[in-house]
């Protein structure tokens, strides 16, 4: 495992640096490193690290969501309320609709299989989008109209919506049917996740402030460990309550960090944000190299040009959904175009659930995984590169 970790860090960082020199996003280098080192090409990674790959990716995602929550201003979030809520589900609905309408004709799948495929591909990747939005907030690009905050909040909610739909469609494909409770789980998961995280964040802020008032100083490094430990517990709570009530662990983590930032002194929140920013340097490499390692490049050959065309058509549908969400906002054409670009990349969710239909023995398993792999290879670099080259031209620096 130690050899595998050294390869992940050293080669991942080296290839990312090469991409940066070539004016390409670092994420491309990390994804390529994962694909090449992974079990489907050179097979240099130890099976033990691949066995805990999902948990390591989740930990890395938790770190960037904490960093995002600590950087997010609640007042800014209030300003983008309506479009953020719409963008949390409408673009995904449009993309799923594209697959339902076109996949049966183009790929020969049934309607429910097309819906499963659309749900797998409907989620935007927070791992690609969130770090870029945090960077824009720190450099004050688009912050005059709270554009990074809008995209950050919407992308976090988007995943909850899509994953609940995916579970519902898979249940239907296995012979079940969609109940009213399945649909009700979406808002329940969001509301309970936010409420649970806010409560933990509030208690944590009281603990930090009380310890400071009584001269029991807690070092910032210790605070980071405490925040991480509670974040892992919040994620575990989602699994503990599965089958009883739906709670979004990722939203709970981000909500906790938001409330902690709001209730703590500026110095404390700023220092914590800096600490998690440094942690993200290592977490980013682990996340994207392991996402690349989960990509079975062989399936791209099976998908063919038809699947590529379908992915691009679905992205057009998705873009229309984003533009509809922004009607009535003060954003100009360039700013709306940036929102469309920021909502293109897919990686984390597709790597996590793309193989589930195949593992369940569904007839559509192979084609769903093939299209999911293609979507990562096409849209993650496309979205990351698009954001990198366009934000200075499309967004105003405050």
Q: Encode 76-110: b = buried (16+ Cβ within 10 Å), e = exposed.
A: bbebbeebbebbbbbbbbbbbbbbbbbbeeebebe
Give the pLDDT band of residue 216 (cuts 50, 70, 90).
low
pLDDT digits (tens, 9 = 90+) for 364-389: 888 888 888 888 889 988 998 899 99
Which residue(s) pair with 141 in the sheet?
A: 397
Note the pLDDT of residue 332.
94
Cβ of 266: how many Cβ atoms within 10 Å? Answer: 8
Cross-strand bridge partners of residue 397: 141
Three-state SS at 397: strand
Give burial (CB, 10 Å; 0-12/13-18/19+) of 175.
exposed
How far apart CA 12 and CA 171 sit, in angstroms, is 38
Q: What is the mean pLDDT of the chain?
A: 86
pLDDT single digits (tens) 96-117: 999 999 999 998 889 999 999 9
Q: Is 221 left (phi over 0), alpha (psi -120 to 50) or beta?
A: alpha
Does the pLDDT value for residue 243 go beyond 80? no
Asked if 314 and 129 touch (Cβ cutoff 8 Å), the reply is no
What is the rounded distance in angstroms from the CA atom of residue 156 to the CA atom of residue 333?
Answer: 24
Q: How confident is the model at residue 398 (pLDDT cuts 50, 70, 90)?
A: confident
The secondary structure of residue 141, as a DSSP letter, is B
Judging by beta carbons within 10 Å of its beta carbon (0-12, 13-18, 19+), is residue 294 exposed, middle or buried? Answer: buried
With beta carbons less than 8 A apart as the criterion, state whether 137 and 323 touch. no
**What pTM value is reported for the model?**
0.81
């Amino acid at each position: 495992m130690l050899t595998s970790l050294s390869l992940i860090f050293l080669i991942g960082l080296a290839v990312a640096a090469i991409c940066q020199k070539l004016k390409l996003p670092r994420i491309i280098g990390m994804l390529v490193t994962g694909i090449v080192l992974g079990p489907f090409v050179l097979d240099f990674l130890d099976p033990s690290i691949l066995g805990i790959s999902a948990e390591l990716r989740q930990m890395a995602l938790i770190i960037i969501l904490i960093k995002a929550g600590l950087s997010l201003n609640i007042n800014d979030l209030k300003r983008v309320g309506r479009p953020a809520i719409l963008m949390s589900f409408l673009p995904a609905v449009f993309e799923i609709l594209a697959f339902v309408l076109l996949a049966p004709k183009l790929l020969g799948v049934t309607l429910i299989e097309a819906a499963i495929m659309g749900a797998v591909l409907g989620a935007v990747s927070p791992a690609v989008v969130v770090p870029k939005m945090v960077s824009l907030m720190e450099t004050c690009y688009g912050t005059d109209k709270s554009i990074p905050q809008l995209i950050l909040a919407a992308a976090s909610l988007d995943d909850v919506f899509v994953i609940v739909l995916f579970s519902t469609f898979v249940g239907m494909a296995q012979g079940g049917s969609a109940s009213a409770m399945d649909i009700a789980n979406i808002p329940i998961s969001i509301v309970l996740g936010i409420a649970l995280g806010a409560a933990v964040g509030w208690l944590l802020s009281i603990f930090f402030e009380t310890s400071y008032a009584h001269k029991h100083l807690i070092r910032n490094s210790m605070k980071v460990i405490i925040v991480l430990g509670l974040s892992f517990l919040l994620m575990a709570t989602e699994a503990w309550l599965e089958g009883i009530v739906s709670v979004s662990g990722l939203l709970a983590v981000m909500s906790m960090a938001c409330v902690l930032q709001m209730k703590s002194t500026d110095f404390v929140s700023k220092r914590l944000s800096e600490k998690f920013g440094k942690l993200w340097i290592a977490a980013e490499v682990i996340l994207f190299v392991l996402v690349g390692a989960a990509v079975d490049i062989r399936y791209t050959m099976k998908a063919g040009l038809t699947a590529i065309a379908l992915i691009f058509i679905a992205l057009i549908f998705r873009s229309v959904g984003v533009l509809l969400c922004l009607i009535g906002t003060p954003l100009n054409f360039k700013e709306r175009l940036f929102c469309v670009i920021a909502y293109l990349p897919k990686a984390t969710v597709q790597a996590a659930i793309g193989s589930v239909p195949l593992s369940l023995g569904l007839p559509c398993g192979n084609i769903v995984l093939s299209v999911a792999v293609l979507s990562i290879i096409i849209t993650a670099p496309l979205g990351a590169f698009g954001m990198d080259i366009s934000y200075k031209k499309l967004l105003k620096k405050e």
